[in-house]
Chains A and B, each alone.
Chain A
């Protein structure tokens, strides 16, 4: 399959470990944030979102943390599985427009 990026920051984790992917956003006025997963040859897929009036939100095996003071977002994946291997993007909603950050490639090894 095609690669979505050749020189992305890469996080390598062992299967079963927890993963933490970080993202810094630029606009303090942004009030809605989303994490996307993009597998090779596919479009981005919604994982989890969070609004600025929250600092934590949990889904199935995923947790998003928002620190508005330092404009930082993180995605935590519990018990990482081989199927979690992909490029992960954070995105902020700014005046009805999604602005994507730099992706992080997650590699899961056995």
Chain B
């Protein structure tokens, strides 16, 4: 069974430029998560989707970050414009449902903003 797929794996952009990350969850998983992981820290939740609905986006900086999960499968996370402090690894995870169902993480996208 294929795991969570993310692309690109690495992205280097200049500040003020836009960037987008793509995630394909495990087939059949209704819940999709985007996390940000700063160097030396654990992942922090940005947004959680139940099917197409964003049910928890309280940690998403909405002035510059946006996300969508059209058709309840793939998801994209966008930053516009990027700032130096956005440099981090962006992880996507999926689970059968929310709550205590096991979350499966993708390999992440490492973003460097210069």
Taking Cβ atoms with an 8 Å cutoff, the residues of A that contact B are 2-8, 32, 41-46, 49, 89, 91, 93, 96-98, 100-103
Q: Please tell me if the beta carbons of A93 and B100 are within 8 angstroms of each other in the complex.
A: yes
Shortest Cβ-Cβ A-B pairs, 7 listed: A100-B42, A43-B105, A5-B40, A89-B42, A44-B105, A32-B100, A43-B91
Q: Please tell me if the beta carbons of B103 and A45 are within 8 angstroms of each other in the complex.
A: no
Q: Please tell me if the beta carbons of A43 and B44 are within 8 angstroms of each other in the complex.
A: no
Total chain B interface residues with beta-carbon distance under 8 A? 25
CB distance from A34 to the nearest CB of B (A): 8
Looking at A41, A42, A89, A98, the one whose CB has the most chain B CB atoms below 10 A away is A98
Which residue on B lies nearest to A91, using beta carbons? B42
**In the complex, what distance in Å separates the CA atom of A7 from the CA atom of B104?**
26
List chain A residues, Cβ under 8 A from B48.
Answer: 96-97
CB distance from B91 to the nearest CB of A (A): 5
Q: Please tell me if the beta carbons of A102 and B100 are within 8 angstroms of each other in the complex.
A: no
Q: Please tell me if the beta carbons of A6 and B40 are within 8 angstroms of each other in the complex.
A: yes
CB distance from A101 to the nearest CB of B (A): 6
List chain A residues, Cβ under 8 A from B37.
Answer: 4
13 A-B pairs besides A44-B43, A44-B91, A100-B44 with CB distance below 8 A are A2-B110, A41-B107, A43-B93, A46-B103, A49-B100, A91-B42, A93-B99, A96-B56, A96-B99, A98-B103, A100-B41, A103-B40, A103-B41
B25 within 8 Å of A by Cβ?
A: no
Q: Please tell me if the beta carbons of A97 and B45 are within 8 angstroms of each other in the complex.
A: yes
**In the complex, what distance in Å separates the CA atom of A46 from the CA atom of B26?**
15
Known: A2-B110, A43-B93, A96-B56. A8 touches B100 (CB 8 A): no
Hey, what's the 0/1 contact readout for B73-114 against A, CB within 8 Å counting as 1? 000000000000000010101000011101111111010000
